[in-house]
Amino acid sequence: MNQQPSPWRLSVAPMMDWTDRHCRFLHRQLSQHTRLYTEMVTTGALLHGDVPRHLDFNGEEHPVALQLGGSEPADLAACAKLAERWGYDEVNLNCGCPSERVQRGAFGACLMAEADLVADGVKAMQDACSLPVTVKHRIGIDRIERYDFVRDFVGTLHQRGGCTVFIVHARNAWLQGLSPKENREIPPLRYELVHRLKAEFPRLTIVINGGLQTDAQIAEQLQHVDGVMVGRHAYHEPWALAGWDTAFFGVAAAPVADREAAEDLYVAYLESLAARGTPWPLAARHMLGLHNGLPGARRWRQVWSDHRLKTRPPREVAALARAAMAGRGAALAA
C-alpha cells in the first residue's frame, strides 16, 4: 500500500516582499499540493498593527502556513491563536533570517544561540493552538560549523518544545559582515548535515532548503529527507511549479494545460483586484517570470512592466503583451 506523501514534501519558501497573497494565488494555480508560506510577519505587527492586512488570504491558497518572527513565548502564543483563528494550516517560527533588522528584534537566526528560549516559545505556541508548529532554521551561525550545534538545537526544540517538523536551510547564517542576499549565496551549502539530522532523528519531519533548482535535484534530496523547500527559483521561474503535482505527488495531470492558461487565470484574478480598487500592477509583478526561456518573453515582460499601462484594464494589457511576445507590438509606442 502506498503511503501518503508528507504534507511537507514540497513547499515554496517564505520570502520577504515576494510571497504575499497575490504571489501565493499564482503559485496555487500552478500546483494544488505544494505547501505555501507567507512572508515573515513579526509578532509586534500582529499584536499592535493591522491584523487583517497581515493575515487575510485567499481561500484557494490552502495548504498555507503563516511564518512568524518573534521570541517572546507569550507573544508567539497569542499570534499562534490568531493564525488558527484566521484559518492557516500551520504556524512556522523563523530562526533563520540573518538580517541586522531582525537581529535587533531578537529573532531570526540569532535565536539558534538560545535553544531553550526557542523551545519555550514553541511549547507556548503548541499549547495555544491545534495547528502544526514548525521551525525554519539554519545549520549554524557565524563560524560555528559543528554538526552537534544544529543537532542539539533540533534535539532541544523536540524534547522541550515538542516540535516535530524542522525546515533546515543548509547554510550557516553569518550574523556579521554579510547582507541577507550574501547570506543566501556565500556560506557554503552542506546538505550532508541535513541528511545526518534525518538519520539521527528518523521520527521527525526534516525538510531541506537552499540552492535547489531542478526537479532532478528535488528528487535526489527526497531520497534523504522528508521534504524540499524551494525559494527564489520558484519565484523567478513560476512555471516550474506546474510539473510538481505530477512529478512529486502522483497526480495524473497538471492543474493548468499551459502557460497561456495560467496567465489567463491570473489576469482574471488581476481584474478582480482592480474591481475592488486594488492596483493590479502590485500583483502583476509576481508573474513576470511565467514565460522565461520562451521567444519573446522579454517583450512580454516589458509590456506588463510598462508604467504607462498601469491604468488600463488587465485584459487589455494582456492582449498587448501577447502581441508583443509574438512580435506584433509596434502599436504599443503609440
CB contact set of 203 (below 8 Å; sequence gap of 6+): 164
Beta bridge partners of 208: 168, 228
Active site residues: 97
How distant is the alpha carbon of residue 290 from its chain centre? 17
Report residue 106 as a C-alpha cell: 531578537
Q: Where are the beta strands (DSSP E) in the chain?
A: 10-12, 35-42, 64-69, 90-95, 133-141, 165-173, 205-209, 227-230
CA angle centred on 264, ends 261 and 268, rounded to 5°: 145
Judged on CB neighbours under 10 Å (0-12, 13-18, 19+), 311 is exposed
Beta strands in 80-236 (DSSP E): 90-95, 133-141, 165-173, 205-209, 227-230
What single DSSP character describes residue 75? Answer: H
DSSP helix/strand/coil, 95: strand
- Distance between CA 139 and CA 146 in Å, rounded? 9
In terms of Cα–Cα distance, which of 62, 68, 7 is closest to 207? 7
**CA dihedral in degrees (80, 11, 36, 108; nearest 10)?**
50
CA distance 6 to 25: 22
d(CA 292, CA 295): 9
Which single residue is written with the C-alpha cell 484557494? 60
